[in-house]
A and B are shown apart, each in its own frame.
Chain A
Amino acid sequence: MSGLVIEREVLIEAPAEVVWRTITEPDQITQWFASRVELVVEPGAHGYMEFGDQGGPVVVEAVDPPTRFSFRWNHPRGEEPVAGNSMLVEFTLTPEGDEQTRLRVVESGHELCAWPDAEKERYAEEHQEGWVEFLDRLAVLVAKRRL
């Protein structure tokens, strides 16, 4: 979905099953994300991720191998991460042929998480421009005006 906080993608020369293991297995996650990972890949499972000297709980949301994996993180300490107080990270894996996988990640923020799906869809349709592009465009416009 476009228009959310951050949306990035990459094309990987490996089948979806291999990419799936890379993004879900704790000893793999430590190589691209957190420095320590305690995680059971089951919907609703509570885990923990450490980043250097900081750390925080994560909660697994969707587990649909090998196409969809999402978790919530970055919520206030001591609070259950739910829609409205946390960031949702959603991975989508799309096979392209036998040997390639398109991996997309969307990290969405507090307010958006709490929106009903219909609202999110309308928002995405009206605002194809992502937040990064939106702010960037505004910043460039402002800079031009100041010249």
Chain B
Amino acid sequence: MAAGITVPADEELWSAIADPSRRQVLDLLVSHGAVSASWLAGRVPFTRQAVSKHLVVLERTGLISRRKQGREVLYQVEAERLDQAARAMAELAAQWDRRLGAIKRLAEAAHAENASKNPHDQ
């Protein structure tokens, strides 16, 4: 990646949550705790196969993890990673707020200066 972003852009994470279906899966895992792929497949409008693929992508980002319980594999949200991701996103948003704030100050100062130079234009 080229430089410039002070918070590292986590491509894998962003791609993972860019997909609406994966957001749905993540949402279900957050609200229901440790559940199986079949359980998830019963609650989303896409196939069990698609659910498995989404789980693989989400697991790669560290947002979820799996554990075996008897013969079942259960998936669960990794709270700390999720928290970290939420903070990184919030920091990116805060960066833009700071930039927009600076743009606002600059533009308003330039406008005030124009107005004082050309009072008859107002």
Chain A interface (Cβ < 8 Å from any Cβ of B): 5-6, 8-10, 12-15, 18-19, 21-23, 28, 31-34, 49, 51, 54-57, 73-77, 87, 101, 103, 105, 107, 109-112, 123, 126-127, 131-132, 134-136, 138-139, 141-143, 145-146
Residues in A with CB closer than 8 Å to B4 are 34, 49, 51, 54-56, 73-74
In the complex with contacts A18-B114, A31-B102, A138-B77, A131-B108 CB distance below 8 A: no
The yes or no answer to B79 lying at the interface (CB within 8 A) is yes
Total A-B pairs in contact (CB under 8 Å)?
A: 146
23 contacts between A and B (CB under 8 A): A5-B92, A6-B92, A8-B97, A9-B100, A10-B103, A18-B114, A19-B103, A73-B2, A73-B4, A76-B2, A87-B9, A101-B107, A127-B20, A131-B17, A131-B89, A132-B89, A132-B90, A132-B92, A135-B17, A138-B77, A139-B82, A139-B83, A141-B31
Q: In terms of DSSP, what is the predominant structure of the interface of chain B?
A: helix
Instruction: Name the residue among A19, A75, A101 with the largest chain B CB count within 10 angstroms.
Output: A19
Cβ B33 vs Cβ A145 within 8 A: yes
CB distance from A101 to the nearest CB of B (A): 8
CB distance from A132 to the nearest CB of B (A): 5
Chain A, residue nearest B110 (CB)? A18
Residues in B with CB closer than 8 Å to A21 are 107, 110
Q: Which of B6, B17, B100, B114 contacts A134 (CB 8 A)?
A: B17
Report the interface size for chain B: residues with CB under 8 A from the other chain.
44
Residues in B with CB closer than 8 Å to A15 are 111
